[in-house]
Chains A and B, each alone.
Chain A
Amino acid sequence: MRYKSRRSKLFIVALLFLFPLLGLSQVPERVPKPDFETDYIRPDFLTPTPRATALEYIDIGVLIVALFLATYFAHKQRSRQNIFLLMVFSLAYFGFYRKGCICPIGAIQNVTYALFNPAYAIPVFVIVFFVLPLVLALFYGRTFCAAVCPLGAIQDAVVLKPTNVPGGLAAVLSVLPYLYLGLAVLLAATGAGFIICQYDPFIGFFRFGADFNMVIFGLSMLLLGTVVARPYCRFLCPYGVLLNWMSRLSKRHVGITPDECNNCRLCEESCPFGAIKKPDEAAPPANREAEVKKLAFIIVLLPIVVFGSGWIGSRLEIPLSRLHANVSLAEEILLENSGQRTELTDETKAFRASGKPTEELFAEASAIQRQFKVGGWILGGFIGLILCLKLINLFMRRRQSEYYVDKGTCLSCGRCFSYCPYEQVRLGIITPKEAEKMGSKEVKIKQFRA
């Protein structure tokens, strides 16, 4: 009897050992199902449904209305106050009510994932969220950023005492969004993950809960945001890159003045985002010859730089591909198989239990690494190209005699409107004559909203 019980225990122990090996994912039915003699009825099994799809269409409706209103407030009404109120609404609706998901910024990844992964059927409303703000920006500028984006809104709400980021630093930082965009697209295309969502600093606030580290990151972003206006939008947001491109080509874009500029300089400091440009030099620079030579040099060098940076990007295949779960898993399995690691991780335990051949995993991992190699070439080349174009752009001389907004970086927030004397004339606060006098040493802005 004793022997038998030991044997059955051994059997169970053996079963436990065999499980991982046999690759049995389905638990066998070990215990027969009972036949009840009493009239016992099994309780209901509840399957609470996800949020109804119809509500997604309400979201689309809200987005369309919000985009329309934002454009109307910025272009027709030129009312910072209304833009601000709409922004607060968007923060409440898209941010705190809809918990910040899904947003057009994150949708970049869904779109990429859908393009590269045939198994993923992208929901219609995600496409709409991705496309609409871009289309609007192509015609009217980045009104989405001004009043609809919840991430922009939460930062805009904390802008208290904005300071100007020095030009050089701002120029370097403005490369970061391109890098972020490129990385996010690469990682989404290879299926490694959605880093934009993973490192969204504000979503934790919308959900009233997040990873401790992400809360710290978000808080520091907001604290920084009190003195550097909208740091995420300007120096990180990957969707901002796309909006920037679209907005540059926009037909109608908000201007500082509703009329014409008399270079009164009052708006000079009004933009916390550094999107207001001063009138450019009228005369050609003294060392024009040298400048032209430098420019020509950069243009000639451009293909080489793009190729070189592409090559460097392709070298990053190993560290980047590690962000893919299958590659890191394959490496761990390899370490264990070669005896360099003895402790099994949850990942390798799970893999070994799945019964999937390691050969298949290694083949998958190598295929992913090859994808990263190609992706690395493209990413590197892209960054190289962007850097070159940014440099070339800094050689270009615009013959602009008035204060103007940089269409790419202007968020159409409307802060500068009330600084313009002609805006005050338009609103009937001062007379055109008074306006002409403004901008002299005697400064007077009667009604003001920031």
Chain B
Amino acid sequence: MANIFSLENADQKLKALDAFILEQDAKEDALISILHKAQELFGYLPSELQLYVARKLNIPASKVYGVVSFYSYFSQEKRGKYTVNICMGTACFVKGVEKVMHAFSEQLDIKSGNTTPDGLFTLKDVRCIGACGLAPVVMINDKVFGHVTENDVSRIIDDYKNMEGSEG
């Protein structure tokens, strides 16, 4: 796999990260904030990036890894362009979100937590996003879809695929 630092704009992103770390006075207790920033910039936190942060803060890489692996918000895998977050809150559960999850999983042909081979979609189950009035809820990147049924799934996927087609 290509090293994350050899990607386009990697230098710029690293500079932004360095600046943020400096702002936090490179303090150890800012580790979670720094990781948030790093993930925002790079999209995910591969081991080389974790190592980079550890060296900057002068703390063991094991500590960084410990934190990254503890919190579900941090991802060590590259994500697709669109992350399909299926809300697994109780309200969504009783309103039948399992069927929606099943439909996404079947139609994208991936399991929850995985990314489609074309790098377009990542399927994820997430904890309650607090939009229970709209249950069942699916959030694709920042857009929230409410009252989703399994019949809506193919249309939603197609919309994103078409968007991709028209962009490309």
A binds B: no
Question: B-side interface residues toward A, CB under 8 Å?
Answer: none
